[in-house]
Structure 1
């Protein structure tokens, strides 16, 4: 118990010293620039693989407030309405490059958490950011495909393969746990590979678990608050959905950076 208290106190102290709220605000700025190009890239891939863009979008924005979800859905649908393949060529390359800017800002925040200067070459860091963006997009596409086609797999695939019905409930559980595990793996990869510091997979696990659970909890609570008590539309008018999106991105940035600070605090204890 004393050890947990010591870690929490160290985490609070490090967050103050690194001015984590300001870092989260900076990261949010980069994320808002990268957010829609990244979603355009992801949903262009989804359309390329003949997945249902509408069903996938509904699954992806399920944790978000209604107004924010509508804002994202309308903008991405408009941007991806071109089916002639243009977005899957030069336009997508630009989207990946822009979206990787948010990952680059995250690298800077994690380096500051560990107190490490960036000594890697520019092209190495940029290659890491692009690879992380592509990996994140791939995980989202696979996870969304599982969620969208999960019911069809259960109804037709299991029956065709002769899977006993008592195992079908296990598949329903997997549909929920697999996205959470996928998110954990993404954070694990981020915390392991992004800082300019040699880390083991076990050293990156605590922050990954914290960020996964914390991000889901923060998103659900924020969505509940905005849908039931928040009055962004009354306060900001037509900008209400955009302000809510910015607040959500700020909360997400703060959660991810706290995960990095937790790993750094545990590393300093060791």
Structure 2
């Protein structure tokens, strides 16, 4: 019951703190990040014929993660064999980094609202922290991507090395482990952002509840949105050729709301603002 009460309060605080507007700004920056990032990744992987299998694995993972509509747009990048210049890829990488930092800046604003904190950072320090968070978040996401790319190779190796009798169990174990690793990578990524995204760095214990909540809301939210787009929403009637991009924008908007909801949930579980050094210090009785 305590969880339900805190979740309800966190959801209400998302509304009264204006987090929907913050999520909207983050979604706009996210869509500017999404397409250049895929362009850079696919162009790098397609420089060699040896990586064609990896591109197919990554394309399959993207098609599985994204809801219908946005996944068709993303898959066109993987199916395109067009060669791009170094100048274009460099520009796309710069745009990706700048837009991703914009996502972090929007989220950090929402985190401060959740804790009712003032922005004590200067203009340049806030942007430096945003860039730092972008590259920091790439660590767990990069690990998960490598797992996706090499997942089938690892599975094939495990199947070859195991006895014939245990191969079905090995397959089930590896599918289960891929889910576990994907969930842990998501939790680590969100926890890192919560941990460093406010002027007073929160301890890991204080950011984990929201990170776990956000991760376990992401998956059903994506599945529900995909079901909604497939069965009810017809964006092409209103937006025409922009329908897939609009669907992607709505999906990114939902994910940003979930991230901010996780921050509000952390503020409900641990309402007192305390930095990580204070949290680690032992209490001294007077």
What TM-score results when the alignment is normalised by the length of structure 1? 0.84
More deviation, 22-31/86-95: 86-95
Q: Residues of 1 paired with 2:3 and 2:163: CA distance?
A: 49
How much does 1:250 deviate?
1.2
SS of the equivalent of 1:52 reads: helix
Q: Residues of 2 paired with 1:9 and 1:156: CA distance?
A: 47
More deviation, 80-89/234-243: 80-89
**8 Å Cα contact 2:236/2:243 also seen in 1:** yes
Q: 1:245–1:268: structure 2 CA closer, same or farther, 3 Å change rule?
A: same
SS of the equivalent of 1:220 reads: helix
Counterpart residue number, 2:190:
187
2:65 corresponds to 1:63: yes
Q: 1:214 aligns with which of 213, 217, 239?
A: 217
Unaligned runs of 5+ residues in structure 1 are none
Counterpart residue number, 1:155:
156
| Residue pairs, 1:99-118, within 5 angstroms | 99-118=100-119
SS of the equivalent of 2:69 reads: helix
Q: Residues of 2 paired with 1:259 and 1:37: CA distance?
A: 27
**8 Å Cα contact 2:136/2:192 also seen in 1:** no
SS of the equivalent of 2:64 reads: coil
How much does 1:168 deviate?
4.5
More deviation, 210-219/192-201: 192-201
Q: Residues of 2 paired with 1:135 and 1:83: CA distance?
A: 28
What TM-score results when the alignment is normalised by the length of structure 2? 0.80
Q: Residues of 2 paired with 1:210 and 1:149: CA distance?
A: 28
Counterpart residue number, 1:24:
23
SS of the equivalent of 1:62 reads: helix
Q: Which has the larger radius of gyration?
A: 2
Q: 1:260–1:146: structure 2 CA closer, same or farther, 3 Å change rule?
A: same
Counterpart residue number, 1:254:
257
**8 Å Cα contact 1:110/1:194 also seen in 2:** yes
2:235 corresponds to 1:232: yes
Q: CA RMSD in A?
A: 2.9
Counterpart residue number, 2:279:
none
How much does 1:256 deviate?
0.8
Q: Residues of 2 paired with 1:48 and 1:182: CA distance?
A: 28
Q: 1:33–1:160: structure 2 CA closer, same or farther, 3 Å change rule?
A: same
